[in-house]
Amino acid sequence: MTESKNTAVITVLGKDRVGIIAGISGLLAEYNININDISQTIMDDVFTMIMMVDLKDVSIENSDITDRLHKFGDDNGLSVTIQHTDLFNAMHRI
């Protein structure tokens, strides 16, 4: 199992269209970010996806990953966020 210090959670939300998963996964592959797990669904016309990714072998700075994901989201009418797993877990702890 990947250590939490090397993992992050990516969320994607927006109007469904062809190519969302391909676009995000292609972007991640460019920077050697591995997808450990993925869950996606479409509710009415709304696309939602959560990915657990491995940052162990990432080839760019974390801030650059965030910027590139936000740009992808902006260019495609999507909300795309990335959070370190520890932060995500702390924010969603009951």
Digit-coded pLDDT (tens) for 3-50: 557 899 999 999 999 999 999 999 999 999 999 999 999 999 999 999
| Stated pTM of the model | 0.83
Q: Does domain 4-91 have CATH number 3.30.70.260?
A: yes
Dihedral pair phi/psi, residue 75, rounded to 5°:
-65, -20
Going from N- to C-terminal start, the domains of the chain cover: 4-91
Distance CA 10, CA 57 (A): 17
Question: 26 pairs with which residues across the strands?
Answer: none
- Give the model confidence (pLDDT) of 50-76 as tens digits: 999 999 988 788 889 999 999 999 999
Residue 88's pLDDT is 54
- Give the model confidence (pLDDT) of 37-53 as tens digits: 999 999 999 999 999 99
